[in-house]
Amino acid sequence: MSFVEVNNLVKHFPIRGGILNRVIAQVQAVSDVSLRIEKGETLGVIGESGCGKSTLGKTMIRLIEPTSGDVRFDGVEITGLSHAELMPIRQRMQFIFQDPYSSLNPRMTAQQMLAEVIRFHDVVPAKETDKYIEELLETVQLRKDSKNRYPHEFSGGQRQRLNIARALAVKPDFIIADEPVSALDVSVQAQILNLLMDLREKFGLTIMFISHDLKVVEHFCDRMVVMYLGTIVERLSCDDIYNQAQHPYTKALLKSNPINDPDDRETLYILEGEVPSPSNPPPGCPFVTRCDIAEERCKSERPPLVQLGDEHQIACWAVTHPANASTSSDAL
C-alpha cells in the first residue's frame, strides 16, 4: 500500500444564481483524480492556472471537503473522519501556502505564530517551547533573534522560511507545498529549494510539490503528474521528461517553456486556443479543443489513464489506442 493514496477524487463547486439562488451549474475543479505517493517520494503536480492543482492539494488534507472519492493516508481513510479523529492525522500532514505575504498573520510575531501551532498540537512540553522554537528557526536558517519580529519585518524569502518552520513545527511526515517558490526571485527561489531539499533529507519527508514551473519540478521532484482541466493527463518520472513525455499537452508545456539558451531559439511552440471552461468541459478528452493529433474518438470518449511503462501513465487515445488495444484495462 502506498503512503498516500487518492482514489477517484472529485470536487465540484456549485455556481448559484437566479432569484431562488439555486445551483445552476458546477465548476468541476477536480474530476476523478487518482494518484499514489510512496513514502519519501517527492511528487510534482504541474499544470496551468485553473487546472485544479491547488484544489486537489487542499482537498487531499480536507481543507476543502471532497464531493466524492477517498483519500488514504498511511492506511487510514481520512475522508470519513470526524473533526476530532482528523486532528492527530492533520498533525502529520502539513500545507505550505503559495503567497508568503498573505499566509502569515500580520499581528503575530514569529514566536507567537509558532507557539500557537506547537501548543495546539501539544508537540513539546510547555516549558520547552521557547527552546524548540529557536531550534526550528535555526532549521530553516533564520536568526534566533528574529522570533520577536512581525511578518512585515521579514523579506519574501524569509517569510517563506517562516512558513516552512510553521509546517515543520508539528513534525509532519507529509507536506503539500503549493507553489512555495513562485512568488520569489530566482536567487531566493534557489535558496528556498535548497532548504527544502535539505529538510526532505533530514526528516525523510514525503512531499507533494504543486507548481507551474517545469524547470523547478524537474529539478526538485522524483515523479510528476500533469493536470489539465481537473484531470491527470500524464504521470511520469522526472529523470528524462523531455524524451519521455508523450501526451500532446505535456509536450506543448515543455516546448512553450522558454529555455535559457539564446542560440537555441527553436521557435516557441504555440498552443492555439484557450482552456475550456471548467463548468462546461468537453465530454471527451479535456484537451481535445487544442490538440493537434485529436481523433474522432477523442471528442466523445474520455481517455482512461493507461500504463505505458513502469512509471509512466498517460490518458490519450491517440497515443495509447492505435499502438496497442489491450492495455486499456490497466487503467488506474
> Interface residues with other proteins (CB under 8 A)?
48-49, 155-156, 185-191, 193-194, 197, 212, 214-216, 218-220, 238-240, 242, 252-253, 256-263, 265, 267-271, 274
d(CA 158, CA 46): 25
d(CA 114, CA 108): 9
Q: Tell me the closest approach of the beta carbon of residue 178 to other proteins, in angstroms.
A: 16
φ, ψ of residue 193 to 5 degrees: the values are -65, -40
Helix (H, G, I), strand (E, B) or coil at 306: strand
Other CB atoms within 10 Å distance of the CB of residue 143: 11
Q: Tell me the closest approach of the beta carbon of residue 10 to other proteins, in angstroms.
A: 24
- Alpha-carbon dihedral angle through residues 126, 129, 131, 134, given to the nearest 10 degrees: -170
Cβ atoms 155, 101 nearer than 8 A: no
Question: Which among 289, 329, 323 is positioned nearest to 306, based on CA atoms?
Answer: 329
Q: Which is nearer to other proteins, 290 or 297 (CB)?
A: 290
φ, ψ of residue 6 to 5 degrees: the values are -120, 125
Q: Tell me the closest approach of the beta carbon of residue 189 to other proteins, in angstroms.
A: 7
Q: Which is nearer to other proteins, 128 or 239 (CB)?
A: 239
Q: Which is nearer to other proteins, 292 or 301 (CB)?
A: 292
d(CA 92, CA 276): 37
Cβ atoms 321, 297 nearer than 8 A: yes
Rg of the chain's alpha carbons, rounded to an integer? 21
Q: Which is nearer to other proteins, 175 or 238 (CB)?
A: 238
**Nearby residues of 187 by Cβ (< 8 Å), 6 or more positions away:** none
Q: Tell me the closest approach of the beta carbon of residue 289 to other proteins, in angstroms.
A: 13
Q: Which is nearer to other proteins, 7 or 182 (CB)?
A: 182
Cβ atoms 297, 284 nearer than 8 A: yes
Q: Tell me the closest approach of the beta carbon of residue 165 to other proteins, in angstroms.
A: 18
Q: Tell me the closest approach of the beta carbon of residue 187 to other proteins, in angstroms.
A: 4
Q: Which is nearer to other proteins, 174 or 228 (CB)?
A: 228
Q: Which is nearer to other proteins, 61 or 192 (CB)?
A: 192
Q: Tell me the closest approach of the beta carbon of residue 127 to other proteins, in angstroms.
A: 35
